[in-house]
């Protein structure tokens, strides 16, 4: 049902990869909490959930370890996250905890994950550690390479649709690939359909609240099949995804395995 993912680093690293390593998010509260005391106890609060800072440091160090063994060149976030999935796959100590990991499953299924602001999460600390200790010969993350790779995917597959949960950088990044095609003087239609779940208000100027009709004026999204869903994501997303799953229209669709194709540089572009 999903052929590519564009996401935040917080979702992919601090939540998914973190738990695949065997660590947990704990039920907490946002009420009556002394955040100074949490700091002294090395407990990080994410609204009403808690995580152990020492566990997060291990996650950061694991990212640095992956950096240290990869070729010292610019990588797209997609390439690096693929290696995170490979790391989970090759270390049997994670055989149980990786079962619910998006990173691991996408590695197995050849599905690319793009995180255009990759350093803006726990992975950034691992990258900083790696580059600090290897100032003359190190790995880096090339955000322009991300943009080029996903643009090539669009050029090779003109019919595209978006299912967006929230907004921000991932939303703009995936919509902009249509404009990138135009800049490259390549023919590519607007995204055929787009659905966005958000509670953001378009009047506050934030990208999360900008409407899909507005995106049409930029040549990003066709307004024939676009729908803004004004709802809280953890309520609306399971309902929409469940409907799409049980409708069974996805059955029989071939796997695209864009990761494999991009790695081999054999993506056919019109």
Q: Which residues are catalytic?
A: 220
What separation, in Å, do the N-terminal and C-terminal C-alpha atoms of the chain show? Answer: 24
d(CA 179, CA 187) in angstroms, rounded, equals 10
CA distances from residue 139 to 63, 77, 78, 85 in whole angstroms, order as listed: 12, 11, 14, 18
Instruction: Determine if residue 27 is left, alpha or beta; phi over 0 gives left, psi from -120 to 50 gives alpha, anything else beta.
Output: beta
Sign of the torsion angle spanned by Cα atoms 9, 15, 16, 22: positive
The token pair at 89 is 């796959």
């Amino acid at each position: 049902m999903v052929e590519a993912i564009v996401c935040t680093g917080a979702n992919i690293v601090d939540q998914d990869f973190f738990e695949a390593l065997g660590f947990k998010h704990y039920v907490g509260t946002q009420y009556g909490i002394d955040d100074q005391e949490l700091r002294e106890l090395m407990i990080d609060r994410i609204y009403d959930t808690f995580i152990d800072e020492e566990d997060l440091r291990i996650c950061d160090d694991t990212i640095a370890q992956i950096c240290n063994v990869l070729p010292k060149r610019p990588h797209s976030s997609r390439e690096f996250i693929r290696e995170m999935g490979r790391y989970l796959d090759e270390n049997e100590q994670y055989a149980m905890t990786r079962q619910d990991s998006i990173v691991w499953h996408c590695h197995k299924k050849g599905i690319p994950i793009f995180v255009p602001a990759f350093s803006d999460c726990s992975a950034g600390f691992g990258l900083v550690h790696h580059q600090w200790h290897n100032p003359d010969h190190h790995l880096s993350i090339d955000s322009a390479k991300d943009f080029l790779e996903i643009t090539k995917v669009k050029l090779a597959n003109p019919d595209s649709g978006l299912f967006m949960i929230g907004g921000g950088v991932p939303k703009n990044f995936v919509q902009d690939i249509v404009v990138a095609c135009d800049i490259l003087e390549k023919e590519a239609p607007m995204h055929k359909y787009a659905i966005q779940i958000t509670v953001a208000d378009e009047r506050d100027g934030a990208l999360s609240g900008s409407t899909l009709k507005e995106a049409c004026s930029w040549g990003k999204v066709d307004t024939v099949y676009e729908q803004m869903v004004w709802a809280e994501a953890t309520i609306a997303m399971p309902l929409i995804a469940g409907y799409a799953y049980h409708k069974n229209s996805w059955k029989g669709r071939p796997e695209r395995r864009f990761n494999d194709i991009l790695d081999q540089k054999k993506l056919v572009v019109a």
